[in-house]
Amino acid sequence: MTSRRSWFLAGFAVVALLIAGVVSYLASSSPDGLDSTTLRGCTVIETAAGEELTGTCIAQHAGEHHLADGPLADYTVAGNDNLSGIAGILGATATFAVAGGLFWLIARSGRTRRT
Amino acid sequence: MAGYAPLVNSPNDAVLAMHMSDGLVDAPTSLLFGFVAVAGITVAAWKARTELDERTAPMAGLVAAFIFAVQMVNFPILPGASGHLLGGALAAILVGPYTGALCVAIVLVVQALLFADGGITALGTNITNMALIGVGVGYAAAVALRPLRRRFGDAGLAALAFVAALANTLAAASGFLLEYALGGAGDTTLDTVAWYMLGTHTLIGVGEGLITALTVVAVARARPDLVYLLRTAPRPTTEVPA
């Protein structure tokens, strides 16, 4: 690996971490295109127990996530969504670890096959 | 709590759920697309050997991390509605279609398992829509428009990346429509869902196109050798201008 390439990759990694850790705080909290589609026909109302949907819409059929109690669920850290940047950095790092590891293995298997 | 999706677990309303939840389509449909996803990802992992080597593997890992990061940044598209990058065209252009499909699939698996974003039984539909359909259509559009780059340089590259990303977004949204048509929950007619999905995703596709064009041109200027679409371009000498 040339050092110029290494510098580029390091820069790319820093950009990804800044987006996950800092820029993510600027994200719109409105539902995305899919959620706003499945929520059509419903009104979201706040109750003491959380949110409820009144009316008729597709989203009423959605089940609670099986891992909704996980430590990083909903991009929080143990439920604290002020720490979503930390959750983002952990997520980007985990994604890099899984993807980089898998791609390294695939690259190696490709090389042994070629030689 | 059963019967509806608590979009937000915490009392304040930072909604960061981005993909299909469990229960939006019935069990047979989920199962069917689970098989489609497993088959597609297996093929992608097999074919990715031709795209990956020890030099490009770290870049591909970073592309996956970059897509995870950018997906967190929802941008407003309409009052009360937002969108986010899907990343299929971006990944395919930078690291190749098979590796790109794996990048998006890994992002979706990490989001579902670590962040409770996108249902577990919905993983098959989410992977089919964004990692297989989105990447496939986005890459096909990019290849079809590749001559733009030779003629117009960076402007052509930006244009082809923009169009490929828009196509990727609309194709992925259409994947959801297919699944909803086959086994959607609820009484909303397919017609209504289709208009709303394609309308919002046209706007999201514009955002996706801008992010993709910006990123691809930035990488191509710094390290053109790290852009798969340019590495694999046919030699200019095969087309001799008069």
Chain B residue with minimum CA distance to A81: B14
Hey, of B15, B22, B198, which one would you mutate to test binding to chain A, going by the most A CBs within 10 A of its CB?
Answer: B15
Q: How confident is the model at residue B14 (pLDDT cuts 50, 70, 90)?
A: very low
Contact A29 B13 (CB under 8 A): yes
In chain B, where does DSSP find H-type helix? 27-47, 57-71, 88-95, 97-115, 123-126, 135-144, 147-183, 190-222, 228-231
Chain A residue with minimum CA distance to B126: A34
Is the separation of the CB atoms in B194 and B177 below 8 Å? yes
Whether the model pTM is above 0.90: yes
Percentage of residues in chain B with pLDDT exceeding 90? Answer: 86
Using a CB-CB cut-off of 8 Å, the residues of chain B touching A4 are 223
Using a CB-CB cut-off of 8 Å, the residues of chain A touching B75 are 27-28
Using a CB-CB cut-off of 8 Å, the residues of chain A touching B185 are 58, 61
Q: What are the residues facing B76 on neighbouring strands?
A: B82
What rounded mean pLDDT belongs to chain B?
91
Percentage of residues in chain A with pLDDT exceeding 90? Answer: 70
Residue A10: burial class (beta carbons within 10 Å; 0-12, 13-18, 19+): exposed
Chain B nearest C-alpha distance from A78 (Å)? 10
CA atoms within 13 A on the CB side of B41: 23
Chain A residue with minimum CA distance to B118: A65
Is the separation of the CB atoms in A58 and B24 below 8 Å? yes
Between A and B, how many CB-CB pairs are < 8 A? 299
Chain A nearest C-alpha distance from B152 (Å)? 25
Angle at A103 between CA B167 and CA B52, to 5 degrees: 70
Contact A107 B49 (CB under 8 A): yes
Contact B54 A107 (CB under 8 A): yes
Is the separation of the CB atoms in B67 and B85 below 8 Å? yes
Hey, of B49, B111, B192, which one would you mutate to test binding to chain A, going by the most A CBs within 10 A of its CB?
Answer: B49
Q: Which of A48-52, B2-6, B77-81, B86-90 has the lowest mean pLDDT?
A: B2-6
Place of tokens 């295109």: A33
Q: Which of A26, A56, A106 sits opposite B49 (nearest CB)?
A: A106
Place of tokens 């909704």: A68
With CA atoms as reference, report the closest residue to B27 among A107, A63, A87: A63
Q: Which of B57, B176, B180 sits opposite A104 (nearest CB)?
A: B57
Length of chain A: 115
Tell me whether 0.90 is exceeded by the ipTM: yes
Contact B102 A102 (CB under 8 A): yes
Chain A residue with minimum CA distance to B98: A103
The mean pLDDT of B131-136, rounded to a whole number, is 98
- pLDDT at position A17: 98
pLDDT digits (tens, 9 = 90+) for B109-131: 999 999 999 999 999 999 999 99
**Which pair of structure tokens corresponds to residue B133?**
């359909």
- pLDDT at position B121: 95
Q: How confident is the model at residue B8 (pLDDT cuts 50, 70, 90)?
A: very low
Chain B nearest C-alpha distance from A71 (Å)? 8
